[in-house]
Chain A
Amino acid sequence: MRHGRYRFIFGFLAAPVILYVVFVISPYLQAFYISLTNWKGISANPQFIGLENYTRLLDDEVFWAAVRHHGVLLLVMPLVTIVIALFFSFLLNLSGGQRGGKMSGIWGSKVYRVIFFLPQVLAVAIVGVLFQAIYRPDESGVLNGLLDLVGIDPVGWLIAPDLALWSIIGVMVWQAVGFYVVLFSAGMSSIPKDVFEAAELDGANRATLFFKITLPLLWDTMQVAWVYLGIAAFDAFALVQVLSVDRGGPDNSTTVLPLEIWRTAFNFSKFGYASAMGVVLFFMTITFAALTLRVTRRERIEF
Chain B
Amino acid sequence: MVSKPASHGRPRRRRNPLGAFGALSHVALLVWAILIIGPILWTFLGSFKTNAEIFGDPITLPSSYHWDAWGRAFQKAHIGQYMLNTVFVVTCSTALTMLLGSMAAYVLARYSFPGNRAIYFLFVSGMTFPVFLALVPLFFVVRQLGLIDTHFGVILVYVAYSLPFTVFFLSAFFKTLPTSVAEAAMMDGCSHTRTFFQIMVPMAKPGLISITIFNILGQWNQYLLPIVLLSGNVEDKWLITQGVANISTNAGYEADWPGLFAALSMAIIPVMIVYIIFQRQIQSGLTSGAVK
Contacts and interface: CB of A to CB of B under 8 A. Distances in A.
Do A and B actually bind?
yes
Given A13-B119, A141-B58, A221-B290, A125 B107 contact: no
Given A8-B192, A12-B103, A23-B141, A125 B241 contact: yes
Main secondary structure of the interface of B (DSSP, over half): helix
Contacts of B59: 142, 145-146, 149
B128 A285 contact: yes
Interface string A105-126: 0111000111111111111111
Given A22-B160, A97-B17, A16 B101 contact: yes
B187 interface: no
A134 interface: yes
Given A126-B268, A141-B58, A286 B39 contact: no
B28 A87 contact: yes
B260 interface: yes
Interface residues of A, number: 108
Given A140-B54, A145-B59, A91 B29 contact: yes
Given A17-B104, A100-B4, A130 B192 contact: no
Nearest to A177: B32
Interface string B234-251: 000000110011001000
Interface residues of B, number: 100
A-B pairs with lowest CB-CB distance, top 3 = A97-B15, A278-B133, A186-B287
30 contacts: A12-B107, A12-B196, A16-B167, A19-B159, A24-B129, A24-B161, A26-B141, A27-B134, A91-B25, A91-B28, A92-B29, A113-B283, A116-B33, A122-B221, A123-B221, A123-B267, A129-B248, A133-B39, A133-B43, A145-B57, A177-B32, A182-B286, A186-B288, A187-B291, A258-B130, A261-B132, A271-B136, A278-B133, A282-B128, A282-B133
Interface of B: 3-4, 8, 12, 14-15, 17, 21-22, 25-26, 28-29, 32-33, 35-40, 42-43, 46, 54-59, 100-101, 103-104, 106-108, 111, 113, 119, 122-123, 125-130, 132-138, 140-142, 145, 156-157, 159-161, 163-164, 167, 191-193, 196, 217, 220-221, 223-224, 240-241, 244-245, 248, 260-261, 264, 267-268, 271-272, 274-276, 279, 282-284, 286-288, 290-291
